[in-house]
Structure 1
Amino acid sequence: MALPRISGSSWSTAQRSAAAQYELAGNAAGITAKLAEQTGPILAMHIAAMLSAVLLLVFAAGLRRRLVTTTPEGSLLPQVASSGLMLVSVALLMGSALTTEFVFGVKEPELLVPESAVFFGHWIGTVPWLWVGAGVAALALGIAGRKFKTVAPWLAWVSLVLGGLTVFLGVSPAQYMAGMTGPLWLTIAAVGLLKRN
């Protein structure tokens, strides 16, 4: 099956991943060799994903505590927000789970089947970017902000807009695109929540 040619910045960004490079389509050995050239960025991504997975657990717990104290007793919003961020943490954990298996193996291609390295390339290009849970958390925070005044009005609106966009992208076939809007919301929310303290 031929890959469609896509122009623009989105395709040039995707081309950084060996498994997504148009000129290497169908060439498992070529993709494996390209992955061997990308071990530095892959290891950096692995460390960033694992640190993010751990820090998200702390942020999720703090967000839940804050919403519990600012929403009516029995509200589902604190648990929904926390669970959404935990989904992202799991996606980051699983997205980096195969790194140690392959990042050194691609340097010695005789030790692995090239097609498995191709799978790895697609795995790291998709799974760590599954941030739909952050969209759910953003919507929960936005609803809590609008309904119960738990956060500043601007943060409530930003959370609703970015949360809705992140969920929309997350349920679409291009679900990895949520990995662009989700971290943006998380950064804005973290700064907004800190400023309020």
Structure 2
Amino acid sequence: MNISSPVAAASATPVDGRARSRTGWLAAGVVAGLAGVVGIQASGAVTAVYDESIAGDPVAIARRLADQRTQIVIEHTGFAVAALALLVFAAGLSRLLASRLESGSALPQVAAGGLFVTSAICLIGTGLTTELIFGLSEDSKMVPEFAVVGAHWLGTIPWLWAAAGVSALAVAVASLRGGALPRWLGWTSAVLGAVTVLVGISPMQYLAGFTGPVWVLVCAVGLWFAK
């Protein structure tokens, strides 16, 4: 009778489970970063309200916006997926940092907190997409002035990724001062985090939408290969 096999099998199960759990939150980070990039690019393609040739004409803007409903759907999907995936990535990142830093460090909570805020921003940013997608299907369904407001909402709120910059800076400190993560990731996080925070607190705050998702993607991929 081989009595070691059941023991070995039993001990392998939790280890395999931990491996899958670790890969899962990193995969969520990759998805969040990619979805955020897609959402930003799609949002940038919803140009009706920024077209100078029809500026100040709500009816013309609404009609042009109706032709861009596909971009709105893509934007909605990208930011909604990013919002949900960020929650998982934030939890995993916090757990990883807590396991590698000294007890009582605030860095795990700061890193997760910035991503939680960003998740909420992304979700709120999709709040008017349903109204626009269906309301613009027929001219009589939506007041043109509301379409203008909705278009500005889509082009501003989901771009507020400044809090992700704070998460990046927390990761940078954890790496460069705490030695918890690879130093290359620390320096990358320091640069992208600083840029994201600085533009996020400036009147050009929406530019944070360009760098925030990229940092999430780089961080997730970097940790994946560093595990």
Q: Which has the higher contact order (CA 8 A, sep 6+)?
A: 2
Aligned to 2:206: 176
The amino acid across from 2:150 in the alignment is: F
- Determine if contact 1:64/1:82 at 8 Å carries over to the other structure: yes
1:42 pairs with one of 72, 82, 86: 72
Counterpart for residue 215 of structure 2: 185
Which secondary structure state, in structure 1, belongs to the residue aligned with residue 103 of structure 2? coil
Shift of 1:109: 2.2
Structure 1 residue runs of 5 or longer lacking an equivalent are 1-12
Tell me the TM-score normalised to structure 2 length.
Answer: 0.79
8 Å CA contact 2:114, 2:167 repeated in 1: yes
Q: Which residue of 1 aligns with 2:163?
A: 133
Pairing 1:69–2:93 present: no
How much has 1:28 moved relative to structure 2? 0.5
Residues of 2 paired with 1:158 and 1:32: CA distance? 41
Cα pair 2:95 2:108 within 8 Å, conserved: yes
Q: Name the SS for the 2:180 alignment partner.
A: coil
Is the 2:46–2:71 contact (alpha carbons within 8 Å) kept by the matching residues of 1? no
Give 5+ residue unaligned stretches, structure 2: 1-42
Between structure 1 and structure 2, the one with the greater Rg is 2
Change (3 A) 1:90 1:108: same
- Structure 1 residue runs of 4 or more that deviate by more than 2 Å after TM superposition: 13-16
How many matched pairs? 185
RMSD (Å) for aligned C-alpha atoms: 1.3
Which residue among 94, 104, 114 is the counterpart of 1:84? Answer: 114
Q: Alignment partner of 2:203: what SS?
A: coil
> CA contact under 8 A between 1:60 and 1:85: conserved in structure 2?
yes
| TM-score, scaled to structure 1 | 0.91
